[in-house]
Amino acid sequence: MHFTESETADLGRAVLRGEVVGCPTCNARLLVERSSHMGVRTERVFLYCKPCRKDGLFSPEAVADSWTPQQAKAIIDGFRRDRIARCPEDQSILNVIEDPTLGSSYLDVTCPLCGRTATSPSADR
């Protein structure tokens, strides 16, 4: 048995915002598995309710546009200050990679829901 398309989308977005999600049918805490794939900027979310035996797969599609330079700078600055960053468009917790081999200030940021990206050298300019 599956969650409805609407339930799956709502639950998947909530997971990517860092929320703990419960089954819309029985309210049990859902088992969640996030996965990313090479070349795809968004993350798929598999949801499963053990008591109801319902499941769903949320696969968000990446948007074509980017964050504005001001948004990218605010994201990078916020991460450096708070060690966590959220997408200004959908409030998802952003995936941040710090790469010391590319310089001590290099960050690569991706939104698992909308697929927007930024890097610290372009955000710093």
Q: Which pLDDT score is estimated for 103?
A: 62
- Residue ranges of domains in the chain: 5-58, 69-124
pLDDT at residue 118 is higher than 70: yes
pLDDT at residue 100 is higher than 90: no
**CA 50 to CA 37: how far, in whole Å?**
26
Task: For residues 28-34, give the mean pLDDT.
Answer: 97
Q: Which pLDDT score is estimated for 64?
A: 82
Class of domain 5-58: mainly beta
pLDDT at residue 28 is higher than 60: yes
Q: Which pLDDT score is estimated for 21?
A: 97
Neighbours of 77 (CB within 10 A): 14
Provide DSSP, 92-106. Answer: PBPEEEE-GGG-TT-
Q: Which pLDDT score is estimated for 58?
A: 97
Is there a contact between 22 and 29 (Cβ–Cβ < 8 Å)? yes
